Amino acid sequence: GNASTPVPSAGRADMRTDLDAMLDARDTIHPDGWHGLARAEWVAAADDVAARAGSMTRDEQLVELVRLAAMPSWNGRDGHTGIFPFTPADGTLLYPLRWWQFSDGLVITAARPPYEDLVGSRVEAIAGRPIDEVMRLVEPLAPRDNPSNLKAFGLLYLRVSNLLAGLGVVDEPGPTEFTLVDRDGDRRDVEIEPTAPVADDDWDSGLPHRLAATDAPWLRDQDSTLWWTFLEDNGTLFAQF
């Protein structure tokens, strides 16, 4: 199930209580908590984090908690076990963007005001770090059932400015420079300011494909299991499930 371990308090030197709670939950709640990872391997990693916690920043502590929560899923089949720092109570900041990894790169598929003109742009770098390098740092934080599941959920963790700070991609959570290439092939650097999550908002629901409903067919009836309509302007039957 989803871990309920709280985000560590600022300046907290000892995460031992949080780590012990995480271990106890895996031992007592998960029906097969160590099917993909030896318990001793996780305990050793947790002990190492606890030993270093006093020298970590708050964001580095958050990264380590999120990484340890996801660690048992790295071999797959455990996508619901993780920490999902996307809610107002987490105290995180999220970039107001959604993106998807296409064959030609990571492309912005939706953006909140005032960044709507960035939709369709390809992300080449964040804070000067190549996007492929950033994704390699972020992916261990995301729980997964399989590679396709990781492809979807890893992108949600990329939105969290605090995690990028804890990973050393940015100096601190806040306005960040993104290097983008727009649909015309023009490259530019854009500073994007993250915002606090909003409760009960489709953008911050933790669901990788869910956005606020619009008239676009793929966003219009997201709560329907199966529906279809005929698009008369181009003679196409649109079906969604």
- Residue 9 reports pLDDT greater than 60: no
Q: How far is CA 158 from each of CA 76, 182, 200, 204, rounded to the nearest angstrom?
A: 20, 20, 20, 13
Give the chain's mean pLDDT. 90
8 Å CB contact between 164 and 125: no
8 Å CB contact between 97 and 170: no
Query: Lowest-pLDDT range, 15-29, 170-184, 191-205?
Result: 191-205
- Residue 207 reports pLDDT greater than 80: no
Q: What is the pLDDT of residues 153-165, one digit of tens each?
A: 899 999 999 999 9
CA 127 – CA 145 distance, rounded (Å): 30
